[in-house]
Structure 1
C-alpha cells in the first residue's frame, strides 16, 4: 500500500516565523541543510519522517497539525467556486493543490472575491430595485463570515474550550442544573427561575434575573444557563477571540459572539477530557453518551466533531445537519470530506433518508469520487414547538469518519467493511462530481462538456463528453 507524501510548506513557514527564526537557524535546529529546508517550505519536497521527529523534539510541536486539513477545505471550496459558469477554463486539481499549499491567503482572498461576485449576481437578479440604495454592499453575509471562521478553526477554539472545561469541574457530576443556579447566585448575584411560556432564555441585567422556559428539557436549560454565564463571566475572553477574527462588520462580530457563547455552553456541558474518555470507552455510542452527560443526541454528535485539541485529538469526524428541503444548516468536517458551500448535500447520502425512518439510526458505507471511503451515520432530530399550535422543527443529522476509524464506532461492528460492493457512491456537489452515470445528477460537472441527441434519451437528457 502506498503512503501519501506530506507537503506542509505553509505550516513550516508559519512555525518558523512565529518563533522569529531565520531559515538558517531553523534548519540548524532541525538538523537539515538550508537548501533542503527551503525546498520543503516551498513544497518542492515532502516533509521527511526525521523532520517530523525533530519538530516534536525541538519545538514540542504537535505533528498532527501538519496534516492537510485546511488545504483540503480550501481545495474543496475553490473547486466549488470554480464550478461557476463564469469560469470557462477552471484550473486542474494539481494547480489548486499548489495554491492551497503555497498561497493559502491568496486562496481565501479568491473565495471572498467569488462570494462577493455571487452575492452581486443574486442582488442583480432579485433586488434590482434596490441597486444603488444606501447601504448596498457586496461584503460577505455576516453568518457566512462567521461560519467560515469556525470552519477554518477546525470548529475547535482552544481558549474557550479550556475555560469551559475548567468551569465544568465546579458543576460536579450530580444535579448540574441546580449547581449552575447556585454558582450563578453565589459568584455573580444572578437568580435563576423557570416559567411556563417564557422564551427559551431571557436575562434581565437590571434585576440580574435569568429566566428559562419551564417547558424546555434539563439539557436545554443547562445549555442556556451556561451560554448566559459565558457572556457575563467570560466576556473578555470572547471579545479577545473576536478581536483575532477581524470580522468585517459589527453584525458578524455579534453573531460570532453568540456562537462563541454557544461553544462555551456545549464545552461546559460536555467537558473535553471527560467526554473524550467516555467517547472512547463507549465506542462513540451517541445514546449512551447523551444519557451520561444529560445532553441531546445532536449535542453529542456535534461535540464529537470538535474533539481536535492538539495532543489529545479524537476520531476525526464530519458533522452535518440538514432541514427537510436538504439545505445544510450546520456543517463541519475534520475529514477529507468537505461539504458544498452553496446548496444542499448529495441526495445519495443517507442523511436524507433519516426523515423517512424517525427515531432510527441509519448506517451507510460510502465512497466519494476521489476514492476515499467513509462510514456514515444519520438520524432525524425534532425540536418541539412547546405548544399545540407551534410548529415542530425537523432536521436530520449526519456523523461519519473515514473507514480507517470505523472500528472505533460501535455502529460499525457488523458492517462488511472489506466488501467493495457494499460502498455506495456519493458526491459533494453535482458541479464538482466527476461521476458520469449518476442517476441523481442535477447538473453536468464543470470539467465535462455535454452532448445532446434529440433522438435518444437515457437516464439524463444529455450525455457527458
Structure 2
C-alpha cells in the first residue's frame, strides 16, 4: 500500500488549464517530454517523483492535492450503487471503477446521479407516491441528498467561507471572543440580541430586527447560533456566490445549503483555521482540551478536525460521523480512504455503535477495512438535553478516526500496539457491499456475490457466500 503508484491525470489537466498553459509549455516547465505528459494526463503512466517536485518548485503546488480523496469517494459510491440488484451480475471489476473515477470523474458522477434518480423513482412507485401523478412532478434528487453530496465532494472544506470566518474572528491575527464579536457585529447592523429561557435555539424577527437565543442552551450552542445569524446577515453576498457556483436543482436545496454554509461559517469562526490547527497539533488532538480552549462542544471540535483541508496547510486527514441510536448516519465526512455508505447504516462492528453503552467515555479501536487499510478510531456519546423536565433528550454517538500511520500524532493512541496484526478488528462500509465471508454481525447478504444454500448445514450465517 505504501508503494502504490500515483495516477492523477485529471488533477494535472485541471492544474494546467487553471494556469492557462498548453501541454507543450507545461511539459517544458515540468522537465518532461510532451508525449510523457500526455500519458500522465491520460493515466497511462503514474506521476513521477520529478514531476511532483517540479509542481511544488515551479508553481508552489500543494502536492497532497494530487492524492485527494475524490476518486476514492467516487469509487466507494459506485461500488455501492452497482451492488443494486438492478445491475444483476454485471458488476465491473474494481480496477475499472478506479479508472472511471480517475479518468472520467464527471461521467462517474453522472452515473451516480442517474442511479440516485432511479432509486427515488423506484421508492415513489413502491409507496404509490401521489406526486408522480401531478403535472409538475419531476425526477430529481432530494434536496437534502443534493446538499449532502455538495459538501461531500467539496471535502467539506469551503475555502472562501472558511477564510471569511477566520478574518471575522481574527481581524488582526489575534482571536477575539466569538460571542462578544458576533453580538457587536449584529448590533452595528441594528439588530437587538436577547436571551429568553423558553425561546427556540435561535429565532430572528426581520421586522423588529430582533434576534432571540435560548438562555437554557449551553454556551457553546449560544455562540454557534449567534455566529450563524452573523453569517446570514453580514455574509449574504459570499453565501450567494457560493450557492450560485453549486447550481442546485431546486430552491429547497439552495435554502438548505444556505443553512449549511451559515453553519460552516459559525463553526469556522468558533474554531478559526490557523489557531485551531496549531492548537490541535500542540494538544495532539485532545478533544477535551480543544473544547475547553475554544469554548466549543466535543462534536464541534471533532467535526472541525475533519475539515482541516486547506491547501498548503492541511491537518491530519480524519473521517467524522454522527450516528443515532438506530445506527443511522446523520452526519458524515471523510478526508480518508474510508467512505461511509450513502444508503443505510454503518458497519455494526465500528466502535461508534458501542458508545451508547459507555456514556461519558472515549472508546478506542484499531480497525481494518476489507481493502487492507488500517485506521485508529475514536468514539464518544453525545447527549443533547431538552432543556426542561419531560422534554425529549437526543442521543448520538460521534466517531472520529484517521489512518493508523497518523496515530503517533493522536494522544488517544499512545499506548496502543499499532504494529500487532491481531489488534485490528475487521470492519466494513455496509453489509450490502462488504466482501467478508464469515462476519458474525452481517445483517444482509452482499449483493455482489452469489449465495449457496444448504438446508443440512448451518454455520454463522444461514447461507454461504461464493467467491
User: What's the TM-score once normalised by structure 2's chain length?
Assistant: 0.97
Query: Match for residue 184 of structure 1?
Result: 186
Query: Match for residue 461 of structure 1?
Result: 462
For the aligned residue pairs, the C-alpha RMSD in angstroms reads: 1.4
Aligned residues: 464
Mapping of residues 251-330 of structure 1, within 5 Å: 251-330=252-331
Tell me the SS of whatever aligns to 2:195: strand
- Between stretches 189-198 and 390-399, larger displacement belongs to 189-198
Tell me the SS of whatever aligns to 2:86: coil
Which whole-Å CA distance do the structure 1 matches of 2:27 and 2:167 have between them?
Answer: 38
Which blocks of at least 5 consecutive residues in structure 2 are unaligned?
Answer: none
Deviation at 1:13, TM superposition (A): 0.8
Mapping of residues 35-50 of structure 1, within 5 Å: 35-50=35-50
Deviation at 1:405, TM superposition (A): 0.3
Which whole-Å CA distance do the structure 2 matches of 1:346 and 1:131 have between them?
Answer: 34
Deviation at 1:130, TM superposition (A): 4.4
Which whole-Å CA distance do the structure 2 matches of 1:54 and 1:174 have between them?
Answer: 40
Tell me the SS of whatever aligns to 1:432: coil
8 Å CA contact 1:361, 1:378 repeated in 2: yes
Tell me the SS of whatever aligns to 2:47: coil
Q: 1:52 to 1:174 in 2, by over 3 A?
A: closer
Q: 1:68 to 1:91 in 2, by over 3 A?
A: farther
Query: Match for residue 24 of structure 1?
Result: 24
Q: 1:163 to 1:86 in 2, by over 3 A?
A: same
8 Å CA contact 2:169, 2:177 repeated in 1: no
8 Å CA contact 2:178, 2:227 repeated in 1: no
Tell me the SS of whatever aligns to 2:333: strand
Tell me the SS of whatever aligns to 1:211: strand
8 Å CA contact 2:169, 2:178 repeated in 1: no
Tell me the SS of whatever aligns to 2:87: coil
8 Å CA contact 1:346, 1:429 repeated in 2: yes
Deviations 1:322-373 (A, max 9, x none): 1000000000000000000000000000100001111111000000000000
Which blocks of at least 5 consecutive residues in structure 1 are unaligned?
Answer: none
Which whole-Å CA distance do the structure 2 matches of 1:219 and 1:54 have between them?
Answer: 45
Mapping of residues 156-195 of structure 1, within 5 Å: 156-169=157-170, 176-185=178-187, 187-195=188-196
Deviations 1:373-426 (A, max 9, x none): 000000110111111121011100000000000111110011111111010000
Which whole-Å CA distance do the structure 2 matches of 1:445 and 1:370 have between them?
Answer: 16
- Between stretches 191-200 and 315-324, larger displacement belongs to 191-200
- Between stretches 175-184 and 288-297, larger displacement belongs to 175-184
Which whole-Å CA distance do the structure 2 matches of 1:75 and 1:159 have between them?
Answer: 28
Deviation at 1:173, TM superposition (A): 5.3
Tell me the SS of whatever aligns to 2:417: coil
Deviation at 1:180, TM superposition (A): 2.6
Q: 1:32 to 1:174 in 2, by over 3 A?
A: closer
Deviation at 1:129, TM superposition (A): 4.6
Mapping of residues 60-459 of structure 1, within 5 Å: 60-88=60-88, 89-169=90-170, 176-185=178-187, 187-459=188-460
Q: 1:9 to 1:204 in 2, by over 3 A?
A: same
Deviation at 1:16, TM superposition (A): 1.2
Deviations 1:56-108 (A, max 9, x none): 12222111100041000000000000000011210000000110000000000
8 Å CA contact 1:365, 1:423 repeated in 2: yes
Q: 1:289 to 1:2 in 2, by over 3 A?
A: closer
Which whole-Å CA distance do the structure 2 matches of 1:423 and 1:287 have between them?
Answer: 26
Tell me the SS of whatever aligns to 2:213: strand
Q: 1:267 to 1:229 in 2, by over 3 A?
A: same
8 Å CA contact 1:177, 1:218 repeated in 2: no
Tell me the SS of whatever aligns to 1:91: coil
Q: 1:83 to 1:29 in 2, by over 3 A?
A: same
Which whole-Å CA distance do the structure 2 matches of 1:450 and 1:239 have between them?
Answer: 51
Q: 1:181 to 1:2 in 2, by over 3 A?
A: closer
8 Å CA contact 1:201, 1:212 repeated in 2: yes
Tell me the SS of whatever aligns to 2:203: strand
- Give structure 1 regions of 4+ aligned residues with deviation exceeding 4 angstroms: 170-175
Which whole-Å CA distance do the structure 2 matches of 1:435 and 1:114 have between them?
Answer: 25
User: What's the TM-score once normalised by structure 1's chain length?
Assistant: 0.97
8 Å CA contact 2:336, 2:402 repeated in 1: yes
Deviation at 1:132, TM superposition (A): 1.8
Q: 1:2 to 1:331 in 2, by over 3 A?
A: closer
Tell me the SS of whatever aligns to 2:399: strand
